[in-house]
Each structure stands twice: as C-alpha cells, then as structure tokens.
C-alpha cells in the first residue's frame, strides 16, 4: 500500500515534464482493453488491462534474435542476453535479478531465432522497478570483457547440457542446419561451439549498440495495471533514449529445395529416433491454418491418427507425433517425429508416419475429426490465456509478425479450414522433395559394459 | 513417463509455498457425507474449469517387489471403464478440447480434468467413470507395461534422470521414497490385472481423497455435479498401513556412472526433513540463501557467476509426508567436476558456521512472502496447491499464516537449522560423467 502511494507521488512529481513533451508526438490508440502508444523515439507500448490478474507482467521485446547474426558469430544474440544481467554503471554488476526478487518478483529472458525478450512478473504496484531497470539496461550496460569471457563459459555449459549430451536435440539441430541453404534459421540460437569459443566483448558491443534501440523494440505490459500511470512511467524512463539508425528488415528468400536431404547421427543412445522436417509457410499464408489443423488431425492427443496407429495399434513407437507452429516470422518447418520402441525398426516408424500423411492425401478427414481438431486448437488457445504472462506473450508474437491485431484473426482462420484445405496442404507441402530427415542411430561403446551397474562406494567418515 | 516426472517437479515446487500478505484465495471447503474433502475456488477470467483429485494411493502403499503398482493403477484408470474403452475416453474428452488423466506420486496420486465450462457435465461424467469404474483391461495393461519399459530405456539417455535415480536409491535404500515412481522393468513384470483391481478397490475411496475445483464455477454448481456424478462413491474407511520413516545414512557414499558425455551430472546431498517438521520454514529461508534463490543464492553466485562452471545450479529440500531429501544438483564439463564439488562443500560449510547477512535474510523473506501470486497464477496450479495444503494438513488459515511463519525466522534459526540439517561429511555424491575425464577425487574434505 505504502509503495503504491510512493509510486503515485513519484510520478506526479516527475512525470508531467517529460509527459507534456512526449504526448505531443506520441501516437495513441485504444481498442477494447488494449492501449497502444508509439513514443517519438519509435518505442511501441502495448498495454493490456486484465483486472482479474493478481499480478502484472512487463516484457520488452527486441528484434535481435539469432537471424541477425553474422556468419562465424553464431550465439552472440543469446550471449548478449546473458550479459544484460551483468549490470550497468548505475546499478552495478549482478544486481538485476536480486532487485526483482527482493520485490517478490520473478524475472528471466529468452532468445529465439526471431527475437530476444526480457520479462518480470511483479505485483502491479511494483512495475515501476521493471520500467526503470529495463530502460537503464537498454542503454547503459557495462559489459566487462572479463565477465564476457566468464559468461561465455556458462553458455558453453548450457550448450553441452542442451545439445551435446542430448542425442535427440543434437539430431534436431542438425536437421534444421541441413534444411536451410541460405536462411539464417539454419544456425542454432545457442551458437556452434566453435563460434562461441571466439566471441568477444567487441562482437557483442557492436550488436548491442545497433539493435538495442527504442525503434527496434516494443513493450508489452499486462495485468491488473493502471494504464495511465504505467504509460507515463514508460514515457519518463524510456522517452529520453535516442532513436537508433533504422535497421533493415531481414530479406532473405530460401531457395526452392530440389530433393530430399537425409542425415544420420551415430551417438551413444538407447533408442533410435527419426525427425522429418518439411519447409512450410508461416501465418502470412492462408495455408498455415490448414497446416495447423493437419498437425492436430495427425497428433492432437491419444485419439488422433499417429498415436492410434503407431503407438496403440502397431506398437512400434514409444512416442510419435506431428508439430507445426505458424508464428515464426519467416517460413519454417512442419515436423513428423517418432522414437522406436525397443526392438522396433526406425524405418518402420518413419514409413508409418508417411503412411498417415498419405491417408490424408487420398481421403479427406471426416467431419467429426475436423471438428475435433478445431475444438482442440480453440480450447488450447483459450486455456493458455489463464496466465497473464502467456497472454502478453501472444500479443508479442503477433506483433513480431507484423501486428498484434492478427491475433484476433487466428481462430477465425482456423474455423474456416475445410477438409479439402487439409488435403490440399498435405499434398502441396508434406512431400518428399521438401523434406530433410534426421535419424539417430544409437551406438554402444566400451563404456556401455558398465552402464547398467553404477559403481557404489561407501566410506567410513572422517 | 514424462508426465510422471513433470508432476513430481510441480509437486515439490508447490511445497515451497510463497504467499504475499495482500494475496487472498477465497476457498470454500466442505466435507461431503462420504468423507470426501471438496475445495472450490471461483475464477471467472476464462470459461474454463480445472479439477485436481488427490488420492492417497501412491508408491508408499505398494509392496517393494511390485514397485510401480500405484503408478500403473493411476495411469490405467483412463485405460477403460465398465462403460467405455480407452479409445472412447480419449475420443470423448479430446473432441471438446479437454483432457483427463492421472499420474503416480510418492505420497499421493493425482487425477486431473481440464475442460471448458460448457462441457463440464461431460468432464464430470468421465472423471467419475474413471475414478469409480475402471476395468483395467488386460491388453491395455500389456501395452502400458511395454511403454513404461521403453520409457525407462529412453531415460537412460538422460544423465539427469540417471543421477536422480541413483541418488534416491543411495539415500533411501529400500524405502519407497528410494524407488522410481514407475518401478523397474523387473518389478513391473510382477504386477497383474488383479493387483490393479485390488489396489484400486482398497485405496480409491472418497474418505481417502481430496478434490479441488477451480475456475468458472460456483460451489453450488459443484455441489450439483457431485450429487449427480459421485453419489455412488461410498466411504470405505481405508486402513492405512504404517509407513516407516527412512533411516539417516551413517556413512558417505559415492556413486559413479560412466557414460560418453561432455558434462558431469552431479548430485550431492542426503536425507532431509518431512513436511511436518517445525523447522520447515527456517529451512526454506536458509535454503533460499544457499541454493534455491536462483541468482540471489550463494551457489549460483559462486559457481556460475564468479567461476563460470555451470549453467544451472540449485539446491532443494523435497519434503514429503514421511521424510525428505536435500540435494544440490549441477552439470559442468567433466574436467571441472572436482572443483565444483569442492565449492559446493565450501558453501555448505560456510552457511553452517557463519551468520548470513542482514541483506540476505531480508531479501529471502521478502521474496518468499511476496512472490506467491506469481507462483500459483493459473487455475491448475491453484488446484494442485489446495490439494497439497490439505494433504499435508497445513490448515485452513495456511495462506494467511505463511508470511508470519517466514517473517519470524531469525539469523540464529538459519545457523541452527543449517547445522542440524546439512551434513558436509556423511553425504551421498552421485557423478554421471565420462569418468576418465572427470578423474573424480577419492576424497573431499
């Protein structure tokens, strides 16, 4: 309570000056419970009021995902994200998360191929902290060279954990790298180990200076918030940061694939695994809705085709399914995947997956199946909104593609899909020449003799 | 398989309950005639209802040679009923975009339903059918066993899983807490259909269960649903066998597993405390400072931020009904294993010998008391939380009292519980790594 009052007083005393200035040039729009404003320096605010939420979330999104990296510098977007927690001149090193936690909040960040985002979940009356800290680190990172090298080691550990020692992830990484010829989607967000080991503070600094500017970012703030207060505070803290030079949008067209690509990875593992990835469009194409329904018809639960056939009836796979996400900024991949049950052949799993797609190509999904898939997509979409964090995330994902308002068209697009559409997209995209297949072949090396028997030592205590 | 483990994670996470003084949850609690405890929280933000049913029918109650029985029983209640086949159950609930399922656990199993409000009758019809009338068809049992065995094999690819399995085995021995929820390939083979039927008949009773309903629904509506779908659930006064408390290990143990890995996956720890231990809250504050506070914790500051040895390091006290464990977990390149272990021991000894600073204790308290709404943001989380509060008998006023439990912890308490519940000598160390590269030292002091 005291903090709320303190916050309001602080705003009243300091905000009007910058307010009067920025209001003149800001572009403001209100639609339902969404408030949108673009500050003169190009920073966009999307604020969503949800009086039911017991908390608030602040997210700042930068168009600084790994697609913007240079050849030989993969992993810099993600390493920079780590460095953003290493302090500024004003607050000193390593205090960011501590300050948020002290306020009872939770903070983190994420880097993808398309974007980097930073977030805090806080009590609504403490959001001022997010705004002050985020505005500060957009501009004033220290990025000490020694610290950068130390953090590079941390990221290399992260890579070992997520990829080097995880056979299925390793295959996935290799499939994506093989699928694309020239699109930067081909390199992993975490970076190749060889690139990571040469990244320096200067590489990151350059990237930071160019991409961490207000006109290359937007804010989504949501929850039980007072929009006027929040917008004023954002204007005050971010309004003075100068606009950066305009950045060109990435414009790379992936050449047409001329035939199937196939890779094999031999690694210590237990069960063979296959992933088959097809180049497909994103939500900017109407076909994306039909692809999403196709993925759900194939693998939306235990009553869907792949589970029923491969896992329940044929009993050849431990797990199997199809996956597609339409919200990538550039055309990406549609997956079929499966892990063989012990003693079963991975070729059989792969062929059984294709057979399920072939069935869709030769016969329309029936009405009930179509309705089920649509109901599932719709219910999932509704249920995911239970978290204010995820609500904010949905606005941001659509904003990144071009406009958060696309969100409103999403369910409509799904509802319009016909059985003919599903068959048409299966025939058009889920075809051999568009795919890249990765197979994990488990090998046993000498260490495996010892595998079933851990070595246990007990010792008298000293 | 994966569901089982993610359940376990959520479960432990719920035990570390964080409550803000300003946060209130309006819970309507009722004990029905058949002994069932019913908890309802209305949330009208979405047209959705989430239900969690906790039933005291977990691993604790199964014989050692049939380890996995509780989990198999739980996961097969959706495998067919007197009225429906497995396929019909999935088809009906998936058609409306909902889900229904169950998973095992050490102390209790959880059955959960997730459904849009408009389909609530169908949801309750299915929920009652799978809890009251499962038929455990033979062919579904065969298929389930095959998949559990396959899943166990697949998890041999996961060094974190291996480390955790070996750690629990080493500290708990033959106590049920030392076993995998799924059992092993061998013990699963000892289980037949009659075992499932008997286990179900014995423990799936209303007076042995707690139901939490959270979402776009009133207590009255829930009452109507229960009288419509659960009237035949008869009280049974279940005879609960007495469960022994696990022994404290008397010596240091080292378990090594040799694999072709780039990182050593390390767990260091020992037995911990049960949830009813009066020192639980002092331990929560102490452990936040030691290793559960993320970037605010000493382990993270020292081993990640200063030495760059790990991506993640954390410690936790998993407090169950009859005992618990304390563990520090991390992954580091094989070559750094010894150094990381030494640093963990250094931090454990430090918190046992020196007072924590004012800032550390204040920060820990303000996080623990302030972050509650962030931790149970969704209806599903609220439902699981309510079941845990009831199961561990934390009291109707628990939410209101929690801040005072935390705020009364002193520096002296922290030092006292660190000395009492941490042990830098008689610990168990599990290292899954390329042992040739790790060159693990024989002795850590």
Q: Which 3 state secondary structure label does DSSP give A321?
A: strand
Q: From CA B294, how far away is CA B289, in angstroms rounded?
A: 9
β-sheet with B28-31: strand ranges across: B28-31, B37-42, B209-215, B48-55, B109-116, B99-103
Q: Say which DSSP state A320 is in.
A: E
Q: Say which DSSP state A91 is in.
A: T
CA torsion sign for B14, B20, B26, B30 is positive
Q: From CA A175, how far away is CA B43, in angstroms rounded?
A: 44
Q: From CA A127, how far away is CA A48, in angstroms rounded?
A: 14
Per-residue pLDDT of chain B (445 residues; tens, 9 = 90+): 223 333 333 333 333 333 344 567 899 999 999 999 999 999 998 999 999 999 999 999 999 999 999 999 999 999 999 999 999 999 999 999 999 999 999 899 999 999 999 999 999 999 999 999 999 999 999 999 999 999 999 999 999 999 999 999 999 998 999 999 999 999 999 999 999 999 999 999 999 999 999 999 999 999 999 999 999 999 988 888 888 899 887 899 999 999 999 999 999 999 999 999 999 999 999 999 999 999 999 999 999 999 999 999 999 999 999 999 999 999 999 999 999 999 999 999 999 999 999 999 999 999 999 997 788 889 999 999 999 999 999 998 898 899 999 999 999 999 999 999 999 999 999 999 999 999 999 888 7
Nearest neighbour of B331 by CB, restricted to A149, A157, A445: A157
Whether residue B412 contacts residue B336, with contact meaning beta carbons closer than 8 Å, is answered with no
Helices B138-155/B193-203 angle, 10° precision: 90
Residue with tokens 């207590």: B219
Nearest neighbour of A160 by CB, restricted to B44, B86, B333: B333
Whether residue B167 contacts residue B329, with contact meaning beta carbons closer than 8 Å, is answered with no
Helices (H), A140-286: 145-159, 167-179, 193-196, 201-211, 227-238
Give the residue from chain B lying closest to A339, CA to CA. Answer: B154
The CATH class, in words, for A261-444 is alpha beta
**For the segment A82-93, what is each residue's pLDDT rounded down to a tens digit?**
999 999 999 988
Give the residue from chain B lying closest to A443, CA to CA. Answer: B260
pLDDT recorded at residue B443: 85
Residues of A in contact with B377 (CB under 8 A): 53-55, 121, 386-389
Whether residue A90 contacts residue A77, with contact meaning beta carbons closer than 8 Å, is answered with no
B96/A contact by beta carbon, under 8 A: yes
Alpha-carbon gap: B33 to the closest alpha carbon of chain A (Å): 33
Q: Does domain B32-229 have CATH number 3.30.830.10?
A: yes
Residues of A in contact with B99 (CB under 8 A): 301
- Angle at alpha carbon of residue B171, lines to B167 and B172, rounded to 5°: 110
Whether residue A221 contacts residue A46, with contact meaning beta carbons closer than 8 Å, is answered with yes
Q: Say which DSSP state A183 is in.
A: -
Residues of B in contact with A378 (CB under 8 A): 97
pLDDT recorded at residue B2: 29
Residue with tokens 């998949």: B147
Fold of B253-372+393-438: Cytochrome Bc1 Complex; Chain A, domain 1 (3.30.830)
Whether residue B174 contacts residue B64, with contact meaning beta carbons closer than 8 Å, is answered with yes
Q: From CA A224, how far away is CA A240, in angstroms rounded?
A: 27
Stretches in chain A below the pLDDT threshold 50? 1-24, 449-450, 460-462
Q: Which 3 state secondary structure label does DSSP give A402?
A: coil
Q: Say yes or no for a CB contact (<8 Å) between A342 and B149.
A: yes
Residue with tokens 């139901």: B211
Q: For residue B21, how many other CB atoms are within 10 A of its CB?
A: 14
Q: For residue A38, how many other CB atoms are within 10 A of its CB?
A: 17
Give the residue from chain B lying closest to A121, CA to CA. Answer: B374
Nearest neighbour of B45 by CB, restricted to A52, A94, A168: A52
Q: From CA A367, how far away is CA A373, in angstroms rounded?
A: 10
B34/A contact by beta carbon, under 8 A: no
Radius of gyration of chain A (CA): 25
Q: From CA B330, how far away is CA B315, in angstroms rounded?
A: 9
Per-residue HEC secondary structure of chain B comes to CHHHHHHHHHHHHHHCCCCCCCCCCCCEEEECCCCCEEEEEECCCCCEEEEEEEECCCHHHCCHHHCCHHHHHHHHCCCEECCCEHHHHHHHHHHCCCEEEEECCCCCEEEEEEEEHHHHHHHHHHHHHHHHCECCCHHHHHHHHHHHHHHHHHHCCCHHHHHHHHHHHHHHCCCHHHCCCCCCHHHHHCCCHHHHHHHHHHHCCHHHEEEEEEECCCHHHHHHHHHHHCCCCCCCCCCCCCCCCCCCCCCEEEEEEECCCCEEEEEEEEECCCCCCCCHHHHHHHHHHHHHCHHHCHHHHHHHHHCCCCCCEEEEEEECCCCEEEEEEEEEEHHHHHHHHHHHHHHHHHHHHCCCCHHHHHHHHHHHHHCHHHHCCCHHHHHHHHHHHHHCCCCCCHHHHHHHHHHCCCHHHHHHHHHHHCCCCCCEEEEEECHHHHCCCCCCC
pLDDT recorded at residue B393: 95
Residues of A in contact with B380 (CB under 8 A): 386
**Can you list the positions of beta strands (E) in A68-161?**
106-111, 116-122
Nearest neighbour of A98 by CB, restricted to B114, B143, B295: B295
CA torsion sign for B230, B235, B241, B247 is positive
Q: Say which DSSP state A11 is in.
A: H
Locate A446 and state its tokens.
Answer: 């000498």
Domain boundaries, chain A: 2-238, 261-444
Whether residue B330 contacts residue B160, with contact meaning beta carbons closer than 8 Å, is answered with no
Residues of B in contact with A457 (CB under 8 A): 253-256
Whether residue B307 contacts residue B369, with contact meaning beta carbons closer than 8 Å, is answered with no
Mutation to test the A interface, candidates B377, B380, B399, B423, most A Cβ within 10 Å: B377
Q: Which 3 state secondary structure label does DSSP give A275?
A: strand
Give the residue from chain A lying closest to B78, CA to CA. Answer: A302
In CATH, the number for domain A2-238 is: 3.30.830.10
Alpha-carbon gap: B52 to the closest alpha carbon of chain A (Å): 16
Nearest Cα to A177, choosing from A188, A190, A166, A193?
A188
Residues 6+ apart with CB under 8 A from A16: none
Helices (H), A283-437: 287-299, 305-306, 346-362, 367-384, 388-401, 406-415, 419-429
What does DSSP say about strands B324-333 and B263-271: parallel, antiparallel, or unpaired? antiparallel
Nearest Cα to A100, choosing from A145, A155, A55, A66?
A55
Mutation to test the A interface, candidates B308, B402, B427, most A Cβ within 10 Å: B308
Same fold, B32-229 and B253-372+393-438: yes
Task: Using alpha carbons, list the distances in angstroms from residue A74 to A113, A176, A186, A204, A262.
Answer: 11, 14, 10, 11, 24
Residues of B in contact with A146 (CB under 8 A): none
In chain B, which among 383-412 make CB contacts under 8 A with chain A? none
Q: From CA A275, how far away is CA B267, in angstroms rounded?
A: 32
Side-chain-facing half-sphere of A147: CA atoms under 13 Å: 17
In chain B, which among 413-442 make CB contacts under 8 A with chain A? 425-426, 434
Q: From CA A27, how far away is CA A42, in angstroms rounded?
A: 10
B301/A contact by beta carbon, under 8 A: yes
Q: Say which DSSP state A42 is in.
A: S
Q: What is the distance, to the nearest Å, from the Cα of residue A242 to the centroid of all Cα atoms in its chain? A: 28
Alpha-carbon gap: B15 to the closest alpha carbon of chain A (Å): 18
Q: From CA B333, how far away is CA B314, in angstroms rounded?
A: 17
Residues of B in contact with A445 (CB under 8 A): 260
Whether residue B351 contacts residue B418, with contact meaning beta carbons closer than 8 Å, is answered with yes
Same fold, A2-238 and A261-444: yes
In chain B, which among 52-71 make CB contacts under 8 A with chain A? none
pLDDT recorded at residue A459: 61
Residues 6+ apart with CB under 8 A from A361: A423, A426, A427
Nearest neighbour of A154 by CB, restricted to B146, B150, B308: B308
Backbone phi and psi for residue B302, each to the nearest 5 degrees, phi listed first:
-70, -55
pLDDT recorded at residue B345: 98
What does DSSP say about strands B252-258 and B209-215: parallel, antiparallel, or unpaired? unpaired
Q: Say yes or no for a CB contact (<8 Å) between A164 and B94.
A: no
Locate A199 and state its tokens.
Answer: 């990244």
Mutation to test the B interface, candidates A105, A318, A377, most B Cβ within 10 Å: A318
Alpha-carbon gap: A251 to the closest alpha carbon of chain B (Å): 34
Q: From CA A24, how far away is CA B159, in angstroms rounded?
A: 58
Q: From CA A319, how far away is CA A351, in angstroms rounded?
A: 15
Domain boundaries, chain B: 32-229, 253-372+393-438
Q: Say yes or no for a CB contact (<8 Å) between A55 and B304.
A: no
Q: From CA B120, how far away is CA B224, in angstroms rounded?
A: 12
Whether residue B283 contacts residue B273, with contact meaning beta carbons closer than 8 Å, is answered with yes
Nearest neighbour of B308 by CB, restricted to A97, A150, A312: A150
């Amino acid at each position: 309570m005291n903090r709320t009052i303190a916050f309001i007083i602080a705003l009243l005393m300091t905000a009007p000056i910058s307010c009067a200035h920025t209001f003149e040039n800001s572009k403001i729009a209100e639609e339902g419970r969404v408030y949108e404003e673009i500050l003169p320096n190009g920073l966009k605010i999307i604020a969503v009021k949800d009086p039911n939420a017991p908390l608030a979330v602040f997210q700042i999104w930068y168009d600084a995902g790994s697609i913007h990296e240079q050849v030989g510098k993969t992993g810099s977007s993600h390493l920079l994200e780590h460095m953003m927690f290493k302090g500024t001149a004003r607050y000193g090193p390593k205090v960011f998360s501590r300050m948020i936690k002290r306020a009872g909040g939770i903070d983190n960040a994420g880097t993808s191929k398309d974007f980097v985002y930073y977030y805090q979940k806080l009590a609504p009356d403490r959001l001022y902290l997010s705004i002050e800290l985020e505005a500060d680190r957009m501009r004033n990172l220290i990025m000490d060279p020694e610290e950068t090298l130390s953090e590079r080691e941390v990221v290399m550990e992260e890579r070992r954990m997520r990829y080097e020692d995880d056979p299925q992830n390793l295959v996935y990484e290799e499939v994506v790298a093989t699928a694309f010829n020239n699109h930067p989607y081909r390199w992993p967000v975490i970076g190749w180990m060889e690139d990571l080991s040469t990244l320096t503070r200067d590489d990151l600094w350059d990237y930071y200076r160019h991409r961490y500017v207000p006109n290359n970012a937007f804010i989504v703030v949501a929850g039980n918030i007072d929009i006027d207060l929040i917008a004023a505070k954002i204007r005050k803290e971010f309004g003075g940061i100068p606009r950066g030079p305009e950045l060109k949008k990435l414009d790379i067209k992936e050449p047409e694939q001329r035939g199937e690509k196939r890779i094999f990875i031999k690694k210590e593992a237990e069960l063979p695994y296959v992933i088959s990835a097809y180049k497909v469009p994103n939500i900017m194409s109407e076909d994306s809705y039909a692809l999403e329904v196709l993925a759900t018809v194939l693998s939306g639960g235990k009553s869907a085709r792949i589970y029923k056939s491969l896992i329940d009836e044929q009993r050849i796979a431990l797990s199997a399914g199809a996956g597609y996400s339409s919200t990538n900024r550039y055309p990406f991949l549609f997956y079929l995947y499966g892990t063989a049950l012990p003693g079963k052949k991975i070729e059989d799993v792969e062929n059984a997956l294709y057979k399920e797609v072939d069935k869709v190509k030769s016969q329309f999904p029936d009405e009930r199946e179509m309705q089920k898939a649509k109901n599932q997509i719709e219910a999932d979409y509704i249920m995911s909104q239970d978290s204010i964090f995820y609500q904010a995330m949905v606005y941001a994902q659509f904003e990144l593609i071009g406009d958060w308002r696309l969100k409103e068209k999403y369910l409509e697009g799904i509802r319009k899909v016909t059985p003919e559409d599903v068959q048409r997209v299966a025939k058009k995209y889920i075809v051999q020449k568009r795919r890249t297949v990765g197979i994990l072949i488990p090998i046993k090396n000498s260490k495996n003799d010892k595998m079933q028997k851990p070595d246990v030592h007990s010792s008298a205590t000293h | 398989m994966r569901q089982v483990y993610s359940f376990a994670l959520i479960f432990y996470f719920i035990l570390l309950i964080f409550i803000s003084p300003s946060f209130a949850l309006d819970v309507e609690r009722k004990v029905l005639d058949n002994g069932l405890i019913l908890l309802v929280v209305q949330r009208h933000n979405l047209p959705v209802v989430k239900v969690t049913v906790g039933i005291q029918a977990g691993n604790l109650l199964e014989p050692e040679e049939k380890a996995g029985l509780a989990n198999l029983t739980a996961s097969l209640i959706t495998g067919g009923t007197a009225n429906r086949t497995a396929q019909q159950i999935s088809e009906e609930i998936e058609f409306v975009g909902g889900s229904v399922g169950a998973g095992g656990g050490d102390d209790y199993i959880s059955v959960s339903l997730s459904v849009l409000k408009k389909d609530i009758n169908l949801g309750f019809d299915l929920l009652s059918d799978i809890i009251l009338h499962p038929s455990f068809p033979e062919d579904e049992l065969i298929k389930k066993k095959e998949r559990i065995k396959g899943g166990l094999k697949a998890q041999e690819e996961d060094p974190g899983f291996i480390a955790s399995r070996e750690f629990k085995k080493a500290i708990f021995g033959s106590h049920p807490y030392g076993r995998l929820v799924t059992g092993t390939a061998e013990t699963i083979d000892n289980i037949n259909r009659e075992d499932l039927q008997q286990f179900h008949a014995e423990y799936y009773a209303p007076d042995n269960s707690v139901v939490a309903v959270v979402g776009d629904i009133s207590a009255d509506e829930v009452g109507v649903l229960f009288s419509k779908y659960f009237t035949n659930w008869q009280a049974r006064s279940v005879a609960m066998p007495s469960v022994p408390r696990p022994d404290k290990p008397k010596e240091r143990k080292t378990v090594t597993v040799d694999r072709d890995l780039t990182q050593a996956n390390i767990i260091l720890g020992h037995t911990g405390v049960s949830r009813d231990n009066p020192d639980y809250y002092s331990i929560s504050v102490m452990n936040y400072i030691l290793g559960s506070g993320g970037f605010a914790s000493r382990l993270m500051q020292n081993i990640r931020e200063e030495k760059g040895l790990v991506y993640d390091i954390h410690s936790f006290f998993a407090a169950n009904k009859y005992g618990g464990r304390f563990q520090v977990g991390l992954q580091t390149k094989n070559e750094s294993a010894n150094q990381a272990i030494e640093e963990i021991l250094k931090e454990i000894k430090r918190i046992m010998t020196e007072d924590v600073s004012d800032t550390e204790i204040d920060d820990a308290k303000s996080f623990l008391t302030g972050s509650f709404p962030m931790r149970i943001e969704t209806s599903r989380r609220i439902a699981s939380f309510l079941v845990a509060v009831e199961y561990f008998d934390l009291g109707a006023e628990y939410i209101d009292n929690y801040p005072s439990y935390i705020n009364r912890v002193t520096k002296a308490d922290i030092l006292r519980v660190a000395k009492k519940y941490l042990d830098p000598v008689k610990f168990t160390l599990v290292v899954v790594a390329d042992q040739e590269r790790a060159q693990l030292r024989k002795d850590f002091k």
